[in-house]
Amino acid sequence: MPASLAIVKRKIVSTKNTRQITSAMQMVSTSKLNQIQHHTTTYQIYAAKVESVIAHLAQSHAFGSSSAGQASSVSPLLTQRPVKKTGILVITSDRGLVGSYNSNVIKSTLDFMNEHDLNADNSVFLTIGNTGTEFFTKRQMNVAYEYTGVNDVPKFEEVREIVKTVTEMYSNEVYDQLYVVHSHYVNRISSEVEVSQMLPISEETLGDIVDSKEAENADQVSPAYDFEPSEDDIFSVVLPQYAESKVYGAILDAKTSEHASSSNAMRAASDNAGDVIGSLELKYNRARQAAITTEITEIVGGQVALE
């Protein structure tokens, strides 16, 4: 076999092996996506109930109000103060091979920083995922907290420690407001990056939740509450649960988007490998046909010379 044919054949075999790997990775990502979608569906029921309770309390003005710089008497999570530093919780993946998933999140984070004139001096980063940690650390950003190794289907217990750290840093005035940046899963072929304010909790940060509840209750009397055992005891339970639901929901959503992006990236890689294989096989067949034609011509020419 001519050397050129051997090289092309070796490339064909190598590309076929690569396609087998990417196809297997696509199947794994699709399986993980199906698992987390089932888990997310059941969790969303709980999260919707927590949001409903919080929205009703906000409508009834049970949160009260705290002027800037003054601690809330209800919960530290409600305390509003002048913004000296902004916390940014960025959720990325621990690995690559997920298409544009990480780059979209990082780009949206940088755009958000430009819009709000944020830099290393007036911002604090909390990163979930190795990609975001490495990116912002290399750029000399203030990464005050990092978490890696989130499960493919995250468990609620994982989030408790994250939420505890996030809220303690807010209470200790490491930052004065907190935004969450993550990739929101739309469907299996589409996702979009969301940037939402998490702390301090107020009617403004609740935003669309309160608006939707007000629309639902437009013809009803505004809710009022009598608290038992006490208002502080109720909020000490409800508000941390709301914070947990927000962070856990964002991580679940981000992981769902990550698996979908990985599946799409591996499918695209498999399709591209198939195109390369087709092109190489055509090239191989043409070269092989040319080699055979040359051999036949030489044989016929030799026979004619003998005659």
Is residue 288 in some structural domain?
A: no
**24-30, long-range: CB < 8 A, 24+ apart:** 25/97, 25/262, 25/266, 26/263, 26/266, 26/267, 26/270, 29/259, 29/260, 29/262, 29/263, 29/266, 30/259, 30/263
Is residue 273 in some structural domain?
A: no
Is residue 184 in some structural domain?
A: yes
Is residue 304 in some structural domain?
A: no
Q: Which residues of 58-95 are buried (b: 16+ CB within 10 A; e: fewer)?
A: bbeebbeebeeeeebebbbbbbbbeeebbbbbbbbbbe
1-5, 17-21, 109-113, 260-264: range with lowest mean pLDDT: 1-5
DSSP string over 114-163: HHTT--TTTEEEEEESHHHHHHHHHTT--EEEEE----SS--HHHHHHHH
Domains: count for the chain: 1
Is residue 33 in some structural domain?
A: yes
pLDDT tens digits, residue range 133-185?
A: 999 999 899 999 999 988 888 888 888 888 888 888 988 889 989 999 999 98
Rounded distance between C-alpha atoms, residue 68 and residue 81, angstroms? 4
User: Which phi-psi region, left, alpha or beta, contains residue 293 (left: φ > 0; alpha: ψ -120 to 50)?
Assistant: alpha
**Tokens read off for 46:** 């709980």
Q: What is the 3-state secondary structure (H, E, C) of 229-270?
A: CCHHHHHHHHHHHHHHHHHHHHHHHHHHHHHHHHHHHHHHHH
Cα–Cα distances (Å) from 206 to 56, 91, 120, 213, in that order, read 11, 21, 28, 11
Confidence of residue 69 (pLDDT cuts 50, 70, 90): very low
Give the per-residue pLDDT at 231: 63
Give the per-residue pLDDT at 261: 92
Is residue 182 in some structural domain?
A: yes
Give the per-residue pLDDT at 291: 74
pLDDT tens digits, residue range 81-101?
A: 888 999 999 999 988 888 889
Integer-rounded Cα Rg, in Å, for the chain is 29
Rounded distance between C-alpha atoms, residue 297 and residue 116, angstroms? 75
Mean pLDDT, the chain, integer = 81
Give the per-residue pLDDT at 272: 92
pLDDT value at 6 more than 90: no
Q: CATH number of the domain that 208 lies in? A: 3.40.1380.10
Is residue 278 in some structural domain?
A: no
Confidence of residue 23 (pLDDT cuts 50, 70, 90): very high
Domain that holds residue 55: 25-265
Phi, psi for 227 (deg, rounded to 5)? -100, 135
Q: Of 178, 301, 192, nearest to 247 (Cα)?
A: 178
Confidence of residue 218 (pLDDT cuts 50, 70, 90): very low
Give the per-residue pLDDT at 158: 80
Is residue 130 in some structural domain?
A: yes
Confidence of residue 73 (pLDDT cuts 50, 70, 90): low
pLDDT value at 265 more than 60: yes
19-23, 39-43, 123-127, 274-278: range with lowest mean pLDDT: 39-43
Give the per-residue pLDDT at 132: 92
Give the per-residue pLDDT at 239: 80
Give the per-residue pLDDT at 255: 92
